[in-house]
């Protein structure tokens, strides 16, 4: 197999990897904020449930979680899992990363001085308006480095989709390498991950510079 053929074959896997990445971010970033707000709820039962969820998501391997999401419906409820592979991957990734993003959001919100809430109250701001107009923009600025680290980790974690026999770029690299007894597929996969993470770091750095006025 020539290099160009190898690259062409792996391009499908690269697109699938990008699909996992973008769909995970699309689901996990907003869900993480919801989980964060529930984590700070006044109701003890809600807080406890969310704490348990976050503890499980952060305390068990993502690979194990993917297996549970995929095989769980069948073993627990005898629901057929035909066509469930890709949705299970996305659900597993979103639920896992939402827990991490929730804790990042919470750390950013908790770091805000209480005086800002008091000043907003004096100016007649409602709690929701205070949060979205004053607190949240500053929180985003503070948490961007931590979010960047998680997003970079996500790029690499997409390779865990091979657990469910999903042909993303890492799975295809292993298959081609085994069939062709060549190390080149791993080099191609490594370059892909590096370039993807470089793009992520570049975009997030631009975002940080755009928010410099919150110093």
For residue range 162-183, list pLDDT tens digits in order.
999 898 999 999 988 888 888 8
Query: Is residue 97 within 8 Å of 154, Cβ to Cβ?
Result: yes
Q: Using 50, 70 and 90 to split pLDDT, how confident is the model at 203?
A: very high
> In this model, does residue 215 exceed pLDDT 60?
no
List, for residues 46-102, the tens digit of each pLDDT value.
Answer: 999 999 999 999 999 999 999 999 999 999 888 888 889 999 999 999 999 999 999
Q: In this predicted structure, what is the pLDDT of residue 85?
A: 94
pTM for the structure as a whole: 0.91
Query: Is residue 22 within 8 Å of 30, Cβ to Cβ?
Result: no
Q: Measuring CA to CA, which residue among 151, 132, 144, 58 is closest to residue 108?
A: 144
Residue keyed to tokens 């769909």: 23
Mean pLDDT for all residues in the chain: 89
C-alpha of 81 from chain center:
24
Alpha carbons 151 and 157: distance in angstroms, whole number: 10
Q: Give SS3 for 111.
A: coil
Strand ranges (DSSP E) for 56-109? none
């Amino acid at each position: 197999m020539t290099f160009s053929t190898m690259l062409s074959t792996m391009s499908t896997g690269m697109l699938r990897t990008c699909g996992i990445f973008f769909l995970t971010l699309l689901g996990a970033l907003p869900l993480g904020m919801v989980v964060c707000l529930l984590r700070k709820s006044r109701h003890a039962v809600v807080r406890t449930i969310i704490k348990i969820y976050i503890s499980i998501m952060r305390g068990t391997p993502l690979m194990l979680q993917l297996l549970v999401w995929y095989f769980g419906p069948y073993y627990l409820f005898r629901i057929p899992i035909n066509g469930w592979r890709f949705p299970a991957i996305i659900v597993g990734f979103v639920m896992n990363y939402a827990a991490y993003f929730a804790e990042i959001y919470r750390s950013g919100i908790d770091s805000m001085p209480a005086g800002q809430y008091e000043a907003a109250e004096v100016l007649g701001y409602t709690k929701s308006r205070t949060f979205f107009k004053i607190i949240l923009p500053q929180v985003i600025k503070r948490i961007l480095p931590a979010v960047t680290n998680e997003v970079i980790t996500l790029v690499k974690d997409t390779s865990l989709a091979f657990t469910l026999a999903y042909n993303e770029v890492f799975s295809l690299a292993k298959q081609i390498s085994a069939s062709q007894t060549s190390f080149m597929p791993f080099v191609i996969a490594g370059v892909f991950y590096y370039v993807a993470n470089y793009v992520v770091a570049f975009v997030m750095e631009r975002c940080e510079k755009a928010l410099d006025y919150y110093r």
